[in-house]
């Protein structure tokens, strides 16, 4: 079994059970990413798919979940900090004034990494643009990360 404390196992099982929609002690593969993110990790969809590619069933037991969670929790870059994201956007701050052009940010969010839809981007950026069409990226990142 994974090297987790009893408290951690209880927390993981409680979260796991919230995603068990049939009461059979298993969760649908499609909920694995949500569960892992609910437990504080931030893996990409590609990371999730790599971990479950060999599981034949559409549903995952708690005992199958634990090694997946352990693998993902050991991945060093799994948890990004606010400062990591700010540094990433600072590259696009041409004037060095803490803002990024909203059109450029829209382009980044819809074309790179785990792509967002135009509607998702509109929801995220709503109320953050100034009159010049720029967004304070530190405030934006803080809002995204803290809900």
Residue 88 pLDDT exceeds 90: no
pTM for the full model?
0.53
Residue 85: predicted pLDDT: 83
Q: What is the pLDDT of residue 144?
A: 86
Q: Measured in whole angstroms, how far is the alpha carbon of residue 142 from the centre of its chain? A: 15
For 24-43, the pLDDT digits (tens) are 999 999 999 999 989 988 88
Q: Give the pLDDT confidence of 60-84 residue by residue, as tens digits.
A: 999 999 999 998 888 755 456 777 7
Q: Is 59 exposed, middle or buried (0-12, 13-18, 19+ CB in 10 A)?
A: middle
């Amino acid at each position: 079994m994974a090297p987790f404390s009893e408290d951690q196992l209880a927390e993981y099982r409680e979260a796991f059970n919230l995603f068990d929609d049939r009461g059979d002690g298993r969760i649908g593969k499609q909920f694995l990413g949500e569960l892992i993110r609910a437990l504080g990790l931030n893996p990409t969809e590609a990371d999730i798919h790599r971990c479950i590619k060999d599981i034949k069933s559409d549903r995952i037991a708690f005992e199958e979940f634990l090694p997946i969670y352990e693998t993902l929790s050991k991945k060093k870059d799994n948890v990004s900090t606010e400062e990591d994201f700010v540094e990433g956007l600072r590259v696009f701050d041409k004037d060095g004034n803490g803002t990024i052009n909203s059109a450029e940010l829209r382009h980044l969010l819809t074309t790179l990494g785990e792509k967002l839809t135009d509607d998702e981007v509109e929801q995220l950026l709503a109320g953050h643009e100034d009159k010049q069409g720029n967004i304070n990226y530190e405030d934006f990142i803080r809002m995204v990360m803290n809900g």
